[in-house]
Structure 1
Amino acid sequence: MEKTPKWSRVSAVAGAAVMAMAGVQSPAQAADMNDVKHVLLISFDGLHEQDVARCIGSNACPNLALLAKSGVTYSNAHTPHLSDSFPGLAALVTGGSPRSAGLFYDVSYDRTLYAPLDSNCTGAQGWNVVFDETTGIDAQGGGALVHLNGGGAFNPDAIPYAKVNGVCKPVYPHNYIKTNTVFEVVKQHIHGARTAWADKHAWGYDWVNGPSGTGVDDLARTEINSIDPKTNTYYLDSYTHTEVFDNLHVQALINEIDGLDSTGQTSAPVPTVFGTNFQTLSVAQKSPVAKLGGYLDADFTPGPQVSAAITYLDGALGRVVQELKQRNLYASTLIIVTAKHGQSPTDHTKLVKNGDTLTKLLETSNYLDSGGNFGQNNTKTGNLNDGSGLPGTGFVQTDDVGLIWLRDPSQKAAVVKTLKANLGCNAPGICADGPQAYILEGDRLTDWFGSPSNGRTPDIIVQPNPGVIYTSSTGKDEEHGGNAPDDSHLGLVVSFPGIRHAGRTDDHYVFTTQVAPTILRALDLDPQLLHAVQIEGTPMLPGLGLER
């Protein structure tokens, strides 16, 4: 199928030729933007806008600075209200928030689904969906995650069921997302296009394929929670070990730029849209301040681990850009550097870890089982995704946000009353009594995320005071997932040699959802081909000279 002919590259080039013949200097950028043939999307998870400004200003990230000089830096870019990895990436590749894409967290709940062991769809509905490292078959039966590719297949016990036109069918991650992705659109509308992506979970990120299940030609199966065979330890055990994992993604990109698949084993066309995710910065940010992780102050001064992580990522970026130049692809590749999410709190003085007081309050108030035996908290083996968790129980997901799916939605008013009566940090308080905290429900929640009646949207969302993490863990001092400023305010640099007035900063308030329609327009495709763009009216990023 050929490209959608809404915008004509031929007419733009012809117009430039006429102006040149008339002795008028046509802006090079107007023609050059028609030369985008590839889009490279890179997510440095945890990258705040302040990180970008500081490292460019101090020359700590020279490679990113060079991209900024030939592009636009968006200083006011934000996630669409939630900043977990799933909605964060969905924003970038669908153009939609959880309201349209339906992805709230990698661990969530859906009232319409049946348990993985209920292949006839005859039991209770309502399933605690877990699409993380345990989605790979290595995790079946509580097995060790010993293979980088997650074992090479889906864990069947992780796959719930749904009735589709009266037929009980499995719901793989690509069935779970509710809208299409840029990968699907590009493959469907650009003849001979190839797509590629690499992320942190080998099988949980299958949803980037979109509902067709075939949007990504080369989806690298890399599992960050697996065991490095060279050290017999997990890639997440330190930020320097995470670099080893991220280097696999660097090599995947280089292989793809060199005309190979991500493994480097097979010849393949250079992808039209491709990219990857990096975890090193996120791990360094989470690392306790006492262990030299995180930031030194409220001004985003990086601690030793974060500083080293930024240096590493900039070097990785430089390697990829250099390969584009060596293969004569730099002048035809639009490069987007951003993040799925930030990290909170960067100001360590705001950190509060009183344990999961939100879940405890819901349990003691009998809105969830008082013993914690709800969803996949109650499995036969004690392991997630063994297929035996309890259906129909409701669920609560907490990090630095709380997503609540009630066991009995008719109790919502009573739950909200209980939450509002316990906003403070004193037991059994939920630390949501500050000016930037809120209890989201009713019309406002529906406006942001869709109605809970659809089965996927939480009944209530609790945004605690910035700095609160619902955990007692001593292993991390920062987290992501919610709508705290440090979670949602991200770095975003869009670079291409033909961008109009390159090297400037754009301070318009933008959402990361605007990246997806921008990718399509840069490739001369109609952004309306994205379902989420149609539903939410998502505009392109401003100031790139892509208006036609």
Structure 2
Amino acid sequence: MNRRRRQWALKKNLLRAAVLSFAVSCASNAAFADDEHRGRDDDHSGRHPKVEHVLLVSFDGLHEQDVARCIASNACPNIALLAKAGTTYTNAHTPGLSDSFPGLAALVTGGTPKTAGLFYDVSYDRTLYAPSDTSCTGLQGWNVVFDETTGIDAMNGGALTHLDGGGGFNPQAIPHAKIDGVCKPVYPHDYLKTNTVFEVIKQKLPGARTAWADKHAWGYDWLNGPSGRGVDDLMRTEINSTDPATGTDYTDVYSHTEKFDDLHVQAIINQIDGKDSKGDATVGVPTLLGTNFQTLSVAQKAPVAKGGGYLDASFTPGPQVSAAIGYLDTSLGRMVAELKQRGLYRSTAIIVTSKHGQSPADHTKLVKNGDTLSKLLESNNYFDASGNFGQANTKSGSLNDGTGLTGTGFIQTDDVGLVWLRDQKQLAAAVKTLKDNLSCNAPGICADGPGAYILYGAPLRARFGNPAEGRTPDIIVQPNPGVIYTTSTKKDAEHGGNAPDDNHLGLVVFVPGAPGAGERVRDRVETTQVAPTILQMLGLAPKLLKAVVSEGTQPLPGCEERRF
């Protein structure tokens, strides 16, 4: 009996050890092999090196077709080397909406807007009070604006003169909420409904450090997560600030955006070198570091007549897009080279993807006949007929200065329409009005073709949450692919919705030492699967992410935990 007990105990211990051990099978570093045999990162032990760092890079606007085309044409040698050494997911998609906020939230929380609570950087919440209502006694319902105006430079409609957004939050952009009977300010990190990979890593890996750099200095504070402390080094850079060298912001032309994105490349290099993003202090290499690039997005939006966008439905890049992809590839090469120089390449997983795509790639599908959606709803008394809703309609006339109107509802339009009705009791009537005006002829909303839909009621609740709780839109309108609700001549593409060119993204994952070099996974995956994969790479349980538990998000196929 004692012998059997000892044998069972031995088996139990072996089983426990097996459960605790795993190998990530996304990719191999066998490609780059010639480079590696010449580098200082070589490991001849035959063992798989442990992943100690993860570099997450979002090339905003990067479609899967961009990755495939540039590799085939030798236009992106560094991305090609990463793909050859790693795993390329050819069927990766955003979680139903593709604005930067839900796009990035998917990557770092593992959740869709239903769980993360982020639908757009400019949205609406029926439960919130105005920034000026510090007692939470006035009307509820506030247009939440966490963009370039979240920095203190924008206070009282001020000019965005500082690269760091002025060095603090604009109090006029911070709404209030009544929490446990107390009226409290709601900063962007308070607004996120779930935790992030940054928070989990800091909580579960002693001594771990985290870092991120993005396009808005203060609006992206939500990356810190509800704790407010998830990112040790959140770089404060504002793309809409005025460059003193040009007198314009950094979004006027893609080549100027490169200057802004170069700041992020240098930040990553500094962090690989063990410095902070500014290079001022020695703080150690982050366990998770990453950044966002805007150059490609700006080039894709630029008018085709001026060299922007794509030349055809096959994603043949125009001059600006071609140059932007070349720039992104060179930037990736700089970061990888620094990892090798510092002996970190064989302990660093690299993920290259995007928050969103850009629609339409095929210029022949472009339709710009104005914001017919807003006009139709206004003219039928679902909103103020004079447009008195949203951050631009303030009592003072200054953009998002905290004097806006409460309880008005809101419409967010780009190549999608998110509708928060002024009166939710009008839902049935509003939906009927929309369905009666689906054509592209005025006052139609151009949602009468394949791929277009109006989402509301039970299907919307199942996918995005209950509008009655305050944050989820009452109606989501996905117009015909190619439609942008604008007459602007400054852009021929946009994002935010769920059109194919919005949501079909590039995704390449490299994990040092894991088998499967050059694999192409054709299974459909969601970008929400990146977050649990990051935790798994670092030896942490994906279920430490609340959104992963809530939505049942799985790690990327080929990266699942293997038990021995």
Q: SS of the residue aligned with 1:422?
A: coil
Partner residue of 2:219? 204
CA distance in 1: counterparts of 2:548 and 2:48, whole angstroms: 22
Q: SS of the residue aligned with 1:376?
A: coil
Partner residue of 1:384? 399
**Pairwise CA distance, 1:547:** 2.7
Bigger mean CA deviation after superposition, 190-199 or 384-393: 384-393
**Pairwise CA distance, 1:375:** 3.3
Partner residue of 2:136? 121
2:518 to 503, 510, 519: 503
CA separation of 1:10 and 1:401: change in aligned 2, threshold 3 A = closer
Verify the 8 A CA contact 1:49 1:76 in the aligned structure 2: yes
The amino acid that maps onto 2:331 is A
Q: Does 1:450 align with 2:465?
A: yes
CA distance in 2: counterparts of 1:435 and 1:358, whole angstroms: 18
CA distance in 1: counterparts of 2:203 and 2:49, whole angstroms: 20
Verify the 8 A CA contact 1:187 1:194 in the aligned structure 2: yes
2:286 to 265, 268, 271: 271
Q: Deviations over 1:248-294 (max 9, x none)?
A: 00000000000100000011110000100000000000000010000
**Pairwise CA distance, 1:429:** 0.2
Partner residue of 1:410? 425
Q: Does 1:259 align with 2:274?
A: yes
Partner residue of 1:220? 235
2:89 to 61, 74, 94: 74
Q: SS of the residue aligned with 2:183?
A: strand
CA distance in 1: counterparts of 2:527 and 2:114, whole angstroms: 14
**Pairwise CA distance, 1:12:** 6.1
Verify the 8 A CA contact 1:9 1:34 in the aligned structure 2: no
Q: Does 1:329 align with 2:347?
A: no
CA distance in 2: counterparts of 1:139 and 1:164, whole angstroms: 27
Partner residue of 1:161? 176
Verify the 8 A CA contact 2:467 2:473 in the aligned structure 1: yes
Verify the 8 A CA contact 1:30 1:545 in the aligned structure 2: no
Partner residue of 2:53? 38
**Pairwise CA distance, 1:234:** 1.2
Bigger mean CA deviation after superposition, 153-162 or 491-500: 491-500
Q: SS of the residue aligned with 2:349?
A: strand
Q: SS of the residue aligned with 2:320?
A: helix
Q: Does 1:371 align with 2:386?
A: yes
Give the structure-2-normalised TM-score.
Answer: 0.92
**Pairs within 5 Å for 1:74-93:** 74-93=89-108
Please provide the CA RMSD for this pair.
Answer: 1.6
Verify the 8 A CA contact 1:95 1:517 in the aligned structure 2: yes
The amino acid that maps onto 2:80 is A
1:475 to 490, 512, 536: 490
**Pairs within 5 Å for 1:7-406:** 35-406=50-421
1:536 to 532, 547, 551: 551
Gaps of 5+ in 1: 1-5, 14-27
Q: How many residue pairs get matched?
A: 529
CA distance in 2: counterparts of 1:441 and 1:64, whole angstroms: 40
Give the structure-1-normalised TM-score.
Answer: 0.95
The amino acid that maps onto 2:431 is V
**Pairwise CA distance, 1:382:** 2.0
CA distance in 1: counterparts of 2:401 and 2:556, whole angstroms: 43
Partner residue of 1:16? none
Q: SS of the residue aligned with 1:89?
A: helix
CA distance in 2: counterparts of 1:292 and 1:104, whole angstroms: 31
CA separation of 1:34 and 1:410: change in aligned 2, threshold 3 A = farther
CA distance in 1: counterparts of 2:468 and 2:163, whole angstroms: 39
CA separation of 1:268 and 1:274: change in aligned 2, threshold 3 A = same
Verify the 8 A CA contact 2:189 2:225 in the aligned structure 1: yes
**Pairwise CA distance, 1:443:** 1.1
CA distance in 2: counterparts of 1:453 and 1:31, whole angstroms: 57
Q: Deviations over 1:112-145 (max 9, x none)?
A: 0000010100000000000000000000011111
The amino acid that maps onto 1:245 is F
The amino acid that maps onto 1:503 is G
CA separation of 1:143 and 1:11: change in aligned 2, threshold 3 A = closer
**Pairwise CA distance, 1:409:** 0.4
Partner residue of 2:448? 433
User: Which segments of structure 1 move beyond 3 Å, counting only runs of 4 or more?
Assistant: 6-13, 28-34
Partner residue of 2:9? none
Verify the 8 A CA contact 1:12 1:31 in the aligned structure 2: no
**Pairwise CA distance, 1:545:** 5.8
Q: Deviations over 1:76-101 (max 9, x none)?
A: 00000000000000000000000000
Verify the 8 A CA contact 1:92 1:512 in the aligned structure 2: yes
CA separation of 1:32 and 1:161: change in aligned 2, threshold 3 A = farther
CA separation of 1:167 and 1:57: change in aligned 2, threshold 3 A = same
The amino acid that maps onto 2:182 is V
CA distance in 2: counterparts of 1:31 and 1:544, whole angstroms: 20
